[in-house]
Amino acid sequence: MAVAVAATLGLVSPGARSQPRQAPAQQPPPQQPSEISTIISGEASAAPRFAVPDFIASSTDAETVALAKTIGQVLWDDLNFERDFALIPRDIYSTIPAAKSFDDVPFDRWRELNADGVIVGTVQKTGTGVRVDVRLFNVRSRQSAFGKEYSGSAANPRLYAHTISDEIHQQQRALRGVARTKLTFASDRDGERMRGTVESRGVKEIYIADYDGENQRRVTTSRSLNITPTWSPDARSIAYTSYQKGAPNIYISNIYQGTRDDLTKDIAQSFLPSWSPDGTRLCFMSTRDGNAELYVVNRDGSNPRRLTNHPGADVSPTWSPSGTQIAFTSDRTGTPQIYLIGADGLGLQKVTSEAYADRPTWSPAPYNEIAFTARTGPGNDIKVIDLATRQLRQLTFGEGTNESPSWSPNGRHLAFMSTRSGKSQVFTMARDGRNLKQVTQGGNNSQPDWSK
Amino acid sequence: MPKVQLAADAAPGRGGRPRRVASSLAEINVVPLVDVMLVLLIIFMITAPMIQRGIDVNLPVARRAAQISGERVFVSVPLAYRQNHIVYLGDEPIRVEILRERIRQQMERRSDKQVYLRGDGGVQLQELMDITDRLKDAGVETVGIVAKMPGER
C-alpha cells in the first residue's frame, strides 16, 4: 500500500539553512526575537492569514514540477480544511513573482496582500525519491517560524502535504489536524454480483480513502455484503460485518498485513462492531442467545461477555473516549432511542426522546457529545446531543436523508452518508454543519467511519 | 349651518313653495374648497423645490461624524492610475491586480457590502468599469461612485 510509505522526517532547526555562517558574529546580541515569535498571529484576534504558493521545483523536469505543484495545492486544501488559518485564494498568486529559493521570497508583495505568513517549499529529486524542504515565514519579521525537511518516495506526493499541514497545525495552533487520517466506507461501485445466489444480488465491499476522498482503495474482495466498517484505534485494522458465509459475522482486516481475522467465528448473527478506545476489545450486537443483545469480546475473539439483557433489540454500540461507557440503540421503550450503559453492564440511562434515533457515535475529547441519526420527516437527519447539558442541535435539514455520522479524531468534523446529490454518498462537514464536502462519487457509498 | 339655509331660501324661486325645508340641495358650493386647494397648491409649489435641493441646512457639528465615514471603504482612482495602475484603498496605495483580494478580505467581516469609488474625472469610464468589476468579484454588492456638486471643492 502506498499509504505505508511514510516520509522519513529529518529535523532542521528553523532558519538554520538559509542563514550564512557568519551571521551570529555580525549580530552580537543573541537572536532571541526569532526564537520567541515562532507563533504567527493575525490582526486583532482574527485568524492568521496564510499564503501557500506552489512549491519550488529544483529542476525543470515535468515530474518534479508536477510534484511541486501538487504539494502546494494539497497543502492549501489541508490547511483550509480546519479553518484555523485564513488562506489567501490561490488565483491571486499569479500576480506575485514566484520565488526561486528561500532567499528571494517577495515579502513586500505578500505583505501587500495582508498575508501574516507564507509557506515556501522546495522539491528536489534524489536518487531514491524526492526531498521536500518547507519553511513557514512570518511575513512581517521575515523570520522562519517553522522549517522541516522530508525525504522519501515520490509515489504519493499528497502525503508530504498532509504531513506538513498536520505539523504546522500542531506547532502553530496546538491543534491535531486530520490531514493524514482516513475514511472507510461500504460501496457497491464496482457493480459486482453475488456468487451462488439465485437472483445474483449486488454486493457491497469495504473501501478506504484519504480524509479528502483521494486515494480510494478497495479492502475486501469477498463478493458478498460487507458493511459497517470501523477503524481500529491504531488505524491498521478494519472490523466489519460480512455475509460471506451466509449469516452475518464480524471480521477484522489487517490492511497493512493483508490478513483477516474471524472475530465471531460464525456463532449466530453478529453485526456492527465497535472498537474500545485502547483497541483491546470490541463491542458488537449478536443474536447468539436468541435476542439482539450487546457483547464485548477481546481483540482475538476470546472472553465474550454479555452486556445487555432485555427482550427489546439492543444494537449499534459506540464506546466513550474513556472506555468506561457504551452508547447504543435500543427499542425497549417502543421506538429506537439512544441509551448509555457502563462497560461493566451497569448504569443504564436513556439519552434521546426522538421519534426515531439510531447509529450513535461518541465524539472524542474535548467535546462530550453523541452524534446520531434521527428521523425528522420522510428522511433522517444528523443530530448531536451534548451529554453534560443534554442540549440538542441539528446539523442537517432534510436535504435527502442523512445517516451514519462518524467524528473526526479531533472532534471538529463529521463524516456521514447523504442522498442529497442523488445516490448515497459520503460527505464531510464541520461540527457546526458548515463546510459541506462530498467525498465519494461513483455508485452508492455509505456507513463512513473516520480513523482515530 | 348657514349654507343649508341659504340653499333652502333659494328653493322657492324654482318650486314656488316657500319654506319647504325638505327640498334637496341643488349644488355644493365649491368656492371654499377651491380656496383651500389653491392655498395648499401654492404651499407645495413653494416647498417642493426646497425639499429637493436640500439646501440651507446648517449641519450640526459632531465629533463622531468622521469616525462613521471612516468605516466606509473608499477606493480612490487618481489620474496617475492610467500610467501606473495603482489605486488607493483608503489612503494605502495598492496595485490594481490585488485589489480584489484586499477588498474580499475587508468584505468578509462586514455586513454592508458597500464600497465607494472615488474616480478622478480624467479617468476613462472603461477603466472605472474595470475596477467596478474587480470590486464585484470581491463580493461587493453596492459600488457607489462619489461625485461632487458644482462649485463644491
Biggest CA–CA distance in chain A, Å, is: 85
Q: Is residue A309 part of a domain?
A: yes
Chain A residues touching residue B96 (CB < 8 angstroms): none
Q: Using 50, 70 and 90 to split pLDDT, how confident is the model at B23?
A: low
Distance CA A276, CA A298 (A): 10
Looking at A173, A208, A227, which one is the last position of a domain? A173
- Sign of the CA dihedral running A19, A20, A24, A27: negative
- For A54-89, write each residue's pLDDT tens digit: 999 999 999 999 999 999 999 999 999 999 999 999
A157 lies in the same domain as A187: no
Domains contained in chain A, number: 2
Distance CA A396, CA A380 (A): 9
- For A18-53, write each residue's pLDDT tens digit: 333 333 444 444 444 444 558 888 877 788 999 999
pLDDT for B73: 84
B45 lies in the same domain as B76: no
A113 lies in the same domain as A220: no
Give yes or no for a contact between A244 and A226, defined as CB atoms under 8 angstroms apart: yes
Domains contained in chain B, number: 2
- For B117-138, write each residue's pLDDT tens digit: 888 888 888 988 899 999 999 9
Smallest Cα distance from A116 to chain B, Å: 13
Q: Using 50, 70 and 90 to split pLDDT, how confident is the model at A196?
A: low
A149 lies in the same domain as A191: no
Looking at A154, A173, A192, which one is the last position of a domain? A173
Q: Which of A275, A261, B71 is nearest to A284 (CA)?
A: A275
A 79-98: CB under 8 A from B: 86, 88-89, 92, 95
C-alpha cell at B113: 457590502
Q: Is residue B152 part of a domain?
A: no
Q: What is the ipTM of this complex?
A: 0.71
Q: Is the peptide bond before A321 cis (omega within 30 degrees of 0)?
A: no
Q: Is residue B136 part of a domain?
A: yes
Beta bridge partners of A147: A135
C-alpha cell at B125: 469610464
Give the three-state DSSP class for A112. Answer: helix
Q: Is residue B150 part of a domain?
A: no
A54 lies in the same domain as A92: yes
Q: Is residue B124 part of a domain?
A: yes
Chain B residues touching residue A112 (CB < 8 angstroms): 94-95, 98
pLDDT for B61: 56
Give yes or no for a contact between A427 and A418, defined as CB atoms under 8 angstroms apart: yes
Q: Is residue B14 part of a domain?
A: yes
Is the Cβ pair A95, B95 closer than 8 Å?
yes
CATH value at residue B103: 3.30.420.270
Q: Is residue B40 part of a domain?
A: yes
Please give the residue range of the domain that contains residue B138.
65-145
Interface test with B, best of A87, A91, A92 (most B CBs within 10 A): A92
B31 lies in the same domain as B84: no
Comparing CB atoms, the residue among B97, B101, B109 nearest residue A88 is B101
* Mean pLDDT calculated for residue range A396-421: 95
A289 lies in the same domain as A382: yes
Distance CA A266, CA A277 (A): 25
Q: Is residue A32 part of a domain?
A: no
CATH value at residue A115: 3.40.50.10070
The one-character DSSP state at A83 is T
Q: Is residue A26 part of a domain?
A: no
B74 lies in the same domain as B125: yes
C-alpha cell at A36: 520567541
B47 lies in the same domain as B81: no
Higher-confidence residue of A427 and B46: namely: A427
Distance CA A264, CA A220 (A): 18
Distance CA B53, CA B71 (A): 27
With vertex at residue A12, the alpha carbon angle to CA A215 and CA A120, rounded to the nearest 5 degrees, is 60
B41 lies in the same domain as B105: no
Q: Is residue B58 part of a domain?
A: no
CB atoms under 10 Å from CB of A64, counted, come to 20
What lies within 8 Å, CB to CB, of A270 at 6+ separation is A241, A248, A249, A250, A263, A264, A284, A285, A286, A287, A288, A295
Q: Is residue B21 part of a domain?
A: yes
Please give the residue range of the domain that contains residue A429.
182-450
pLDDT at B18 over 80: no
